[in-house]
């Protein structure tokens, strides 16, 4: 089956948050879901870029329902402020797509002192999800979709030095760790949700090798067009994970082509280490300690998952 945007079911009345929705695959997710009637919350760091993206969508679809909210995933303060706004403005949340990310950056730190790639790709989204989970669980058939990567296969969770303070900085290894973190988080979150019979599900997806700004550091020459795909097609695995009624049968979705680099979405390969529950438990606790957020105890809680 060649699952495409045409297979996305009607999303009328649904509220969907997409982080990093102003460009790349995030933009196409927003565009396709808006076309299906969803109310999209574009959670972006730059209001200017988000506004430009919103205008592009509305130019082709005048009735598109799109909101812009500022979210800087490198700042736990910004994550908390964003989450509080969502709780104040909305009484439901159907889908949260943790899409925004950085790749192979220099050795930078976030506002909170985290290594930049793990800080934005994982810790920011970890805090965001915990703080929005009570709203998700109040909503029938809600989902969280986290974006991982083929790079998770070479990743390793360095529990003793998650922020790479004591190691020589290696951009690729640090990026791979963050993408393994995304997949491990998605799987562990779903396990926790199912353990308490929650109707909210957590899945993960990866876009294969998509021609976005994220990959500008290593994609070059004819390789780009031979083994990669457009952001438009790269958005499909996450869209399937978010909307296909049968997607919950498998935790991870990606392209079906050679090495899962390109193609229509299918069940993606998961390395055994991503399902290591012992490491996942330790990593979850460390993520809670670093972000000062916790997994909400009950779906009816009025708290937003942040420790005071």
C-alpha–C-alpha distance, residues 121 and 140, integer Å? 27
pTM comes to 0.92
E-state strands within the chain: 15-19, 39-44, 65-70, 95-98, 143-147, 201-205, 252-255, 265-267
The per-residue pLDDT for range 208-222, each reduced to its tens digit, is 886 555 544 444 444
C-alpha–C-alpha distance, residues 234 and 223, integer Å? 16
Picking from 234, 203, 186, 237, the residue whose alpha carbon sits closest to that of residue 23 is 234
Instruction: Note the pLDDT of residue 226.
Output: 46
Four-point Cα dihedral 93, 97, 102, 104, nearest 10: 140
C-alpha–C-alpha distance, residues 79 and 254, integer Å? 28
SS3 content of the chain, % helix, strand, coil (to 5): 45, 15, 40
The per-residue pLDDT for range 150-185, each reduced to its tens digit, is 889 889 999 989 999 988 999 999 999 999 999 999
C-alpha–C-alpha distance, residues 185 and 281, integer Å? 10
For 47, other C-beta atoms within 10 Å of its C-beta total 13
Q: Which fold has domain 11-291?
A: Rossmann fold (3.40.50)
Burial class (CB in 10 A: 0-12, 13-18, 19+), 91: exposed
Instruction: Note the pLDDT of residue 213.
Output: 54
Burial class (CB in 10 A: 0-12, 13-18, 19+), 85: middle
The sign of the dihedral angle between the CA atoms of 49, 51, 53, 55 is: negative
Measuring CA to CA, how many Å separate 180 from each of 155, 158, 193, 246, 304? 6, 11, 20, 24, 26
> What are the boundaries of each domain within the chain?
11-291
Instruction: Note the pLDDT of residue 102.
Output: 96
Is the CB of residue 20 less than 8 Å from the CB of residue 74? no
C-alpha–C-alpha distance, residues 222 and 202, integer Å? 36
Q: Where are the alpha helices (DSSP H) in 138-170?
A: none
In the residue annotation, 116 being an active-site residue is answered as: no
Structure tokens at 11: 């999303």
C-alpha–C-alpha distance, residues 210 and 151, integer Å? 13
Instruction: Note the pLDDT of residue 203.
Output: 98
C-alpha–C-alpha distance, residues 40 and 173, integer Å? 34
Q: Which residues make beta-bridge pairs with 202?
A: 144
Strand, helix or coil at 168? coil
Instruction: Note the pLDDT of residue 306.
Output: 57
Catalytic hit among 169, 175, 252, 264: 175
Low-confidence ranges of the chain (pLDDT < 50): 215-226, 300-303, 308
Indicate the DSSP class of residue 123.
Answer: I
E-state strands within 181-290: 201-205, 252-255, 265-267
């Amino acid at each position: 089956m060649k699952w495409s945007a045409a297979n996305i079911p009607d999303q009328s009345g649904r509220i969907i948050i997409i982080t990093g929705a102003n460009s790349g695959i995030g933009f196409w997710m927003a565009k396709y879901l808006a076309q299906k009637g969803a109310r999209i919350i574009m959670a972006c760091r730059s209001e200017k870029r988000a506004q430009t993206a919103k205008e592009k969508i509305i130019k082709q679809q005048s009735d598109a329902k799109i909101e812009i909210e500022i979210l800087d995933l490198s700042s736990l303060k910004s994550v908390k402020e964003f989450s509080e706004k969502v709780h104040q403005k909305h009484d439901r949340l159907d889908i949260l797509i943790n899409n925004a990310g950085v790749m192979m950056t220099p050795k930078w730190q976030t506002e909170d002192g985290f290594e930049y790639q793990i800080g934005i790709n994982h810790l920011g989204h970890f805090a965001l999800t915990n703080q929005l989970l009570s709203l998700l669980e109040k909503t029938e058939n809600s989902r969280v979709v986290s974006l991982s990567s083929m790079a998770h296969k070479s990743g390793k969770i360095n529990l003793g030095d998650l922020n790479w303070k004591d190691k020589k900085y290696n951009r690729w290894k640090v990026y791979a760790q963050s993408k393994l973190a995304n997949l491990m988080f998605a799987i562990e979150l779903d396990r926790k949700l199912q353990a308490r019979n929650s109707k909210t599900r957590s899945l993960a997806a990866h876009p294969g090798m998509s021609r976005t700004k994220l990959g500008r550091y290593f994609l070059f020459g004819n390789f780009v067009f031979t083994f990669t795909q457009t952001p438009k097609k790269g958005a499909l695995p996450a869209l399937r994970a978010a909307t296909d009624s049968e997607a919950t049968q498998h935790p991870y979705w990606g392209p079906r082509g050679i090495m899962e680099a390109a193609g229509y979405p299918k069940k993606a390969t998961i390395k055994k280490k991503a399902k290591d529950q012992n490491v996942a438990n330790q990593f979850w606790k460390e993520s809670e300690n670093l972000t000062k957020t916790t997994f909400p105890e009950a779906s009816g809680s009025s708290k937003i998952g942040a420790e005071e």
